Amino acid sequence: MTDLHPDIERILISEDDIQRRVAEIAAEIDRDYKDAGQVVLVGILKGAFIFTADLSRKLSVPHSVDFMSISSYGDTAESAGAVRLILDLRKPITDRHVIVVEDIVDTGHTMNYLHQTLMGRNPASLKICSLFKKNRDSLDVPLDYVGFDLPDVWVVGYGLDYADTHRTLPYIAELKKEVYS
Ligand code: PRP
């Protein structure tokens, strides 16, 4: 086995387990959307770019891929939960079947904002797919497809970062506490 990066405490979810779960989610979406016609996957940058690419390549239903980028302010008590749109979709989603593709739902603030924003554009349907979820109770919207629950530690890999590093690790790993504290 290759040596772990010195910032990494331990691997939480292996590459094989991630790829197997992505294939299962793709199969579920294929079943649910088999008569829907063209679907729009909305990947949320940056974290979801790897999951969006893998999911898209495993899907059989006809679909296009678009992206949005969201930034959260949450550094102070007053701004906690406030999010801002950095990059919007290229095309309207009115009357389209939309699936939001996220890497992780943590506090749920990003997803609450996205759900409200996208519903306001009158899609034919809107579902949420997140590969990872932390167990928080501030999420107002249902998650339709979830890959794995994660413990409340700093996780990196498969799109998730620490200061924009470690996104390309093929597995999910716990970061050593001394790296971020
Ligand atoms: C991460 C992740 C989600 C969001 C989830 O993005 O990709 O979009 O946080 O957190 P929440 O449920 O607490 O709102 P981040 O803001 O780190 O940006 P990035 O994807 O560009 O790294």
Domain borders along the chain are: 8-180
Question: Does residue 106 carry a catalytic annotation?
Answer: yes
Q: What is the dihedral of CA 51, 55, 58, 63, to 10 degrees?
A: -140
* Domain 8-180 CATH assignment equals 3.40.50.1980: no
CB contact set of 47 (below 8 Å; sequence gap of 6+): 102, 103, 104, 159, 160, 161, 167
Angle at 111 between CA 150 and CA 139, to 5 degrees: 65
- Counting atoms of ligand 1 from 1, which one is nearest the CA of 71? 16
Neighbours of 102 (CB within 10 A): 26
- The alpha-carbon radius of gyration of the chain (Å, integer) is 16
Please pick, among 16, 106, 144, 161, the residue that the annotation labels catalytic: 106
Neighbours of 21 (CB within 10 A): 16
Task: List the residue whose alpha carbon is closest to atom 2 of ligand 1.
Answer: 104
Given a cut of 70, is residue 76 above it in pLDDT? no
The 10s digit of each residue's pLDDT in 99-135 is 999 999 998 989 999 999 999 999 999 999 999 999 7
Ligand 1 centre distance from Cα of residue 63 (Å): 24
**How far is it, in rounded angstroms, from Cα 70 to Cα 82?**
10
Given a cut of 70, is residue 79 above it in pLDDT? no
Ligand 1 contacts (CB < 6 A) are: 44-47, 70, 72, 102-111, 161
Helix (H, G, I), strand (E, B) or coil at 171: coil
pLDDT given at position 139: 72
- Counting atoms of ligand 1 from 1, which one is nearest the CA of 110? 14
pLDDT given at position 1: 57
The 10s digit of each residue's pLDDT in 17-38 is 999 999 999 999 999 999 999 9
Report in angstroms the alpha-carbon separations of 45 from 71, 103, 112.
Answer: 9, 9, 16
Task: List the residue whose alpha carbon is closest to atom 20 of ligand 1.
Answer: 47
Of 176, 172, 174, the closest CA to residue 15 belongs to 172
**How far is it, in rounded angstroms, from Cα 23 to Cα 29?**
10
pLDDT given at position 71: 86
